[in-house]
C-alpha cells in the first residue's frame, strides 16, 4: 500500500510540472460546445443560447490551463459513471483541459483522501467525497474552504452562473463557521420502498386486515413495518408466496464490511428515536448519539450525556438484527451494501425500510419484474417508518451528498483547473441531463423542471418527495462528528459482532460508545498539543456521571420504554403523496 501510494504521489506531482502545451483552438471548442449542447445536454433548464454562453465562459476561463491533465476521483455510482464517461470528454473538447476521472469504491476514496492529507502531497487534484466529512474538514487545516477560495484565489475561475442558492444540499457542506467547504455533485436519500401493486391488491389487502385488524399501507412506525414484514414473509396466500414465488417482507444486508457501518451511521439510530429533535442532526445529542455543547463534542456514552449506548440505540440494533434474521432472504446476512442494493429489482421483496434512492435508475429499467409494460414502476417510495423512541422534530432519515473538495496540498494551477471541472459537471447546462441519468438531484431548478413534472409517474414518488418540504428532514452526518474516517470505522466492527451473536446489542453499543469517547479524548489532547486544531469546536469530554443523572434530564438519552412496540399505524400512500403536493 505504501509503495502504491508513493507511485500515486509521484504521478500527481510530476504531471503538469512543466508548462503545458496545447494545439486547442477556440473555434474547435465552440463547435464542440454546439454539438454537446444540441446532442447531449438536452433537456436543460437553460435556453440553448444560455447554455452556449455558459460554455463560452468555461472555454475562456480554461485558457491558462490548456494541455494539462487533471486527475479527480469519486465513488462508483451511475451519476459518476456518466461524468467519467461523458462529461469528462465534453469538458476536454470544450476547454482543452484533459480530465482523468477515476471511479473507485467509497472507502478507497476516503483512503486516498487521508493519504494525501497525511502526506501533504498531491494524489488527486479534487475529490468527490461525502458531506459526512464536513465536521472533519471544518476542524482541520488541510481543506481549502470554498467560500474563501471563490472570493480570493479562485475568483477568476468561479463561474458567474454557479448559483449556489440553487443547490439543495449547500447547507450540508457548510461548517459551524458558516463557510462552504464542499460543492454538492450528487445527492440521494434513504427512504421506504414497497411494492405498490401488492399493497393495493384487494385480495392481499383483505388477507392483511383479517390477520392484523388494520389496513395494509405505508407503515408510519416500526410496529406496523414488523407486521407487514411478518405478513409477506410468512402469511400472504397462506405460505408467504405470490404467484407461486417465495417472497419476503424485508431486505437488508449484514456482512462484516465497512458498508455495514453506513447502514447505521446513515441515520438508523435517529429513525429509531435516538438523540434529540433538531434539524439537521439533533441538538444537543445528534443521530450518532454524540452530545455537543456549543459546537464541542462532549461525549458518546450515556455516562457523559451521550446516547450511543442508550436504550434507543440498543433497541435500534436489536430490531435490525431480529428483522434481518426473521424476514429477509437468508443470503442477505452475507451481503454488503452494493450486493444488496439491486435485490428488490428481482421481484421477490415486498418492502425495504432503508432503501437508497441512488438505486432508482437501476430500478426503472424496462423488462424488470418490478416495472410495468408501459415503463412505470410497480413500486413506490415513501418516508421510512420511525421507531418507538422517535419524537416530532427528529430527523427521519439520511441524505448522501457527494461533494467536490479541494485540498491545500494541490498546486494552485491544478486546483484551479479541477475547480473548473467541478463547476462544469454541476452547471445548469448539464445538471438536468445528469439528473435524468443518475436521479441524484443537486439543483432545485432541475427538480422543478418541466421534464420531471411531465415524467414524475416514472419515478415512483421520487420527484414528489424532492419537490416537497419533507425532504428537509433527511440530512447527512453533521458537524458534530469531528473525525468521520476514524469514528465511522468503529460502527461496522461493533455492529458485526451483534449480527453474528458474539455480543448482545447492549454490549455492542457499550463498546462502540466507549471507543468513540476514546477517539474524542485523543482529539481533545491533540487540540491542546497542537494549538488551534479544531478551534472552538474541538472535543472536550464531559466527566463521567451516573447514567441515571442523564436519564433524569430533559431530552436524550431517554430511559427505556416499558412498551417498545406501541400501536401499529399505516397510511394510504396516495393520500400521503397528495399532502406532499399540497405543501409544495
* Rounded average pLDDT over 74-82: 94
Label the pairing between strands 570-571 and 379-382.
Answer: unpaired
Domain assignments of the chain as residue spans, ordered by start: 26-186+402-470
* Rounded average pLDDT over 272-278: 95
Bigger pLDDT: 231 vs 342: 231
Q: What is the pLDDT of residues 307-318, one digit of tens each?
A: 999 999 999 999
How many Cα atoms sit within 13 Å of 507 on the Cβ side? 9
Which residues have C-beta within 8 Å of that of residue 236, sequence separation ≥ 6? 204, 207, 208, 242, 247
Residue 515, all three cell numbers = 471507543
SS3 377: strand
Q: What is the pLDDT of residues 459-474, one digit of tens each?
A: 999 999 998 888 888 9
* Rounded average pLDDT over 268-289: 93
Mean confidence (pLDDT) of the chain: 93
Class at the top of the CATH hierarchy for domain 26-186+402-470 = alpha beta
* Rounded average pLDDT over 515-537: 88
Alpha carbon 178 to its chain centroid, in Å, reads 21
Cα dihedral across residues 522, 526, 529, 534: positive or negative: negative
Q: What is the pLDDT of residues 95-128, one digit of tens each?
A: 999 999 999 988 899 999 999 999 988 999 999 9
Q: Would you state the pLDDT for residue 581? A: 67
> What is the pLDDT confidence band of residue 532, given thresholds at 50, 70 and 90?
low
* Rounded average pLDDT over 230-258: 97
> What is the pLDDT confidence band of residue 12, given thresholds at 50, 70 and 90?
very low
How many Cα atoms sit within 13 Å of 302 on the Cβ side? 25
Q: What is the pLDDT of residues 365-391, one digit of tens each?
A: 999 999 999 999 999 999 999 999 999
- Asked whether the beta carbons of 485 and 136 are under 8 A apart, the reply is yes
> What is the pLDDT confidence band of residue 164, given thresholds at 50, 70 and 90?
very high
Q: What is the pLDDT of residues 405-464, one digit of tens each?
A: 999 999 999 999 999 999 999 999 999 999 999 999 999 999 999 999 999 999 999 999
CA distance 228 to 237: 14
CA distance 131 to 580: 26
In percent, the amount of the chain with pLDDT more than 70 equals 96
Residue 235, all three cell numbers = 402469511
Q: What is the pTM of this model?
A: 0.90
Label the pairing between strands 570-571 and 218-219.
Answer: antiparallel
Amino acid at each position: 500500500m505504501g509503495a502504491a501510494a508513493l507511485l500515486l504521489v509521484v504521478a500527481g506531482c510530476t504531471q503538469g510540472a512543466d508548462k503545458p502545451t496545447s494545439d486547442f483552438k477556440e473555434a474547435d471548442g465552440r463547435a464542440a460546445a454546439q454539438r454537446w449542447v444540441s446532442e447531449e445536454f438536452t433537456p436543460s433548464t437553460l435556453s440553448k443560447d444560455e447554455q452556449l454562453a455558459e460554455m463560452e465562459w468555461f472555454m475562456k476561463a480554461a485558457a491558462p490551463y490548456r494541455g494539462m491533465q487533471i486527475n479527480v476521483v469519486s465513488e462508483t455510482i451511475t451519476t459518476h459513471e456518466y461524468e467519467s464517461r461523458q462529461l469528462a470528454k465534453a469538458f476536454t473538447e470544450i476547454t482543452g483541459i484533459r480530465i482523468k476521472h477515476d471511479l473507485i469504491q467509497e472507502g478507497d476514496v476516503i483512503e486516498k483522501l487521508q493519504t494525501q492529507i497525511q502526506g501533504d502531497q498531491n494524489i488527486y487534484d479534487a475529490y468527490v467525497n461525502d458531506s459526512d466529512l464536513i465536521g472533519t474538514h471544518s476542524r482541520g487545516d488541510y481543506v481549502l474552504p470554498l467560500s474563501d477560495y471563490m472570493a480570493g484565489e479562485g475568483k477568476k475561475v468561479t463561474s458567474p452562473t454557479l448559483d449556489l442558492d440553487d443547490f439543495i444540499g449547500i447547507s450540508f457542506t457548510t461548517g459551524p463557521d458558516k463557510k462552504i467547504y464542499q460543492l454538492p455533485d450528487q445527492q440521494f436519500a434513504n427512504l421506504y420502498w414497497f411494492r405498490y401493486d401488492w399493497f393495493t391488491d384487494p385480495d392481499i389487502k383483505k388477507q392483511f386486515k383479517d390477520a392484523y385488524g388494520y389496513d395494509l399501507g405505508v407503515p408510519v412506525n416500526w410496529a406496523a413495518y414488523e407486521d407487514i414484514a411478518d405478513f409477506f414473509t410468512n402469511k400472504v396466500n397462506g405460505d408467504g408466496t405470490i404467484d407461486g414465488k417465495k417472497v419476503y417482507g424485508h431486505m437488508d444486508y449484514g456482512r462484516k464490511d465497512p458498508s455495514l457501518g453506513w447502514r447505521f451511521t446513515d441515520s438508523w439510530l435517529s429513525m429509531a428515536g435516538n438523540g434529540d429533535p433538531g434539524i439537521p442532526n439533533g441538538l444537543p445529542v445528534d443521530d450518532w448519539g454524540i452530545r455537543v455543547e456549543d459546537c464541542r463534542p462532549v461525549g458518546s456514552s450515556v455516562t457523559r450525556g451521550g446516547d450511543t449506548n442508550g436504550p434507543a440505540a440498543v433497541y435500534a440494533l436489536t430490531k435490525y438484527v431480529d428483522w434481518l434474521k426473521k424476514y429477509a432472504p437468508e443470503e442477505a446476512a452475507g451481503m454488503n451494501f452494493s450486493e444488496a442494493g439491486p435485490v428488490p429489482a428481482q421481484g421477490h421483496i415486498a418492502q425495504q425500510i432503508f432503501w437508497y434512492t441512488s438505486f432508482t435508475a437501476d430500478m426503472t429499467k424496462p423488462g424488470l419484474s418490478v416495472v410495468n409494460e408501459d415503463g412505470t414502476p410497480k413500486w413506490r417510495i415513501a418516508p421510512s417508518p420511525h421507531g418507538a423512541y422517535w419524537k416530532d422534530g427528529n430527523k427521519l432519515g439520511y441524505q448522501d451528498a457527494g461533494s467536490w473538495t479541494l485540498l491545500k496540498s494541490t498546486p494552485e494551477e491544478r486546483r484551479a483547473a479541477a475547480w473548473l471541472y467541478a463547476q462544469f459537471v454541476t452547471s445548469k447546462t448539464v445538471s438536468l441531463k445528469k439528473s435524468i441519468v443518475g436521479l441524484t438531484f443537486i439543483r432545485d431548478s432541475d427538480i422543478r423542471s418541466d421534464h420531471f413534472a411531465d415524467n414524475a409517474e416514472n419515478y415512483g414518488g421520487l420527484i414528489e418527495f424532492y419537490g416537497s418540504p419533507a425532504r428537509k428532514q433527511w440530512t447527512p452526518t453533521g458537524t458534530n462528528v469531528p473525525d468521520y474516517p476514524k469514528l465511522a470505522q468503529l460502527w461496522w466492527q461493533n455492529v458485526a459482532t451483534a449480527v453474528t451473536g458474539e455480543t448482545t446489542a447492549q454490549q455492542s453499543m457499550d463498546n462502540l460508545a466507549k471507543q468513540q469517547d476514546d477517539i474524542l479524548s485523543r482529539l481533545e489532547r491533540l487540540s491542546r498539543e497542537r494549538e488551534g486544531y479544531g478551534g472552538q469546536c474541538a472535543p472536550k469530554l464531559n466527566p463521567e456521571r451516573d447514567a441515571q443523572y442523564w436519564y433524569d434530564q430533559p431530552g436524550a438519552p431517554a430511559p427505556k420504554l416499558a412498551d417498545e412496540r406501541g400501536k401499529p399505524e399505516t397510511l394510504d400512500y396516495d393520500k400521503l403523496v397528495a399532502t406532499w403536493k399540497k405543501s409544495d
